[in-house]
Chains A and B, each alone.
Chain A
Amino acid sequence: GAVVSQHPSRVICKSGTSVKIECRSLDFQATTMFWYRQFPKQSLMLMATSNEGSKATYEQGVEKDKFLINHASLTLSTLTVTSAHPEDSSFYICSASRPGAYEQYFGPGTRLTVT
């Protein structure tokens, strides 16, 4: 199988604080990981693509200084939402793909609520 985990599954934080979300590929090495955001009843919106050992590529309109992505190893990528505000409240989902493959395997998602 191809299992991707995310931690935490749910987090509530106060406005102005930073939150880190971890994404791990448990049984394969992922040279590429992706971070998505999903609003209720909408499809996934790609935020950034991260490759191990290099800087993430952010989609247009996504603030790279606000959404810090680190892909330190072939099995771990982190998304840090800095100085979170209520409008950052959303469902964040990561995915990973095997080297040479196109299909992405998604994590279970992290629900962020900023109060």
Chain B
Amino acid sequence: QKEVEQDPGPLSVPEGAIVSLNCTYSNSAFQYFMWYRQYSRKGPELLMYTYSSGNKEDGRFTAQVDKSSKYISLFIRDSQPSDSATYLCAMVISFGNEKLTFGTGTRLTIIP
């Protein structure tokens, strides 16, 4: 079993829809959670990061963490064609072990 599970998709939704992207993890030692967006042939771009359970909002993006269920989500409101990309969840155990453990990534396409 992988430490971090993420549905690879592909996921296609119409423009304007709310997108829900999810990851589950098995190691309860993970404490810090990030979401990255990666366009084809580009480096990942940090979208959101959070250190605690609950919701964190930034513009059209909301990151949700449920440590008790070992489940994290990224919601995208009012999705745009420019949101079409691969979305990667990533997590870190603690200071002194800063390696990111990634999900496999979900390919998202927003249909105009």
| Chain A interface residues (CB < 8 Å from chain B) | 2, 4, 6, 32, 34, 43-44, 46, 49, 91, 93, 95, 97, 100, 102-109, 111
CB-CB under 8 A from A95, the residues of chain B are 43
CB-CB under 8 A from A34, the residues of chain B are 99-100
Distance to closest chain B CB from A57 (angstroms): 10
Contact B42 A109 (CB under 8 A): yes
Residue contacts A-B, CB under 8 angstroms, 20 given? A4-B43, A43-B102, A43-B103, A43-B104, A44-B44, A93-B43, A95-B43, A102-B34, A102-B49, A102-B92, A102-B98, A103-B49, A104-B46, A104-B100, A106-B44, A106-B45, A107-B43, A108-B42, A108-B43, A109-B42
Of the listed residues B42, B45, B49, B51, the one surrounded by the most CB atoms of chain A closer than 10 A to its CB is: B42
Q: Which residue of B lies closest to A109 (CB)?
A: B43
**Interface of chain A, helix or strand or loop or mixed?**
strand
- Interchain CA distance A107-B100 in the complex, whole Å: 15
Of the listed residues B34, B41, B42, B44, the one surrounded by the most CB atoms of chain A closer than 10 A to its CB is: B44
Contact A102 B32 (CB under 8 A): yes
Distance to closest chain A CB from B81 (angstroms): 21
Task: A34-B100, A46-B100, A97-B98 given; name 15 further pairs at CB < 8 Å.
Answer: A32-B98, A43-B88, A43-B102, A43-B104, A44-B102, A46-B99, A49-B99, A95-B43, A102-B32, A102-B51, A102-B92, A102-B98, A104-B46, A107-B43, A109-B41
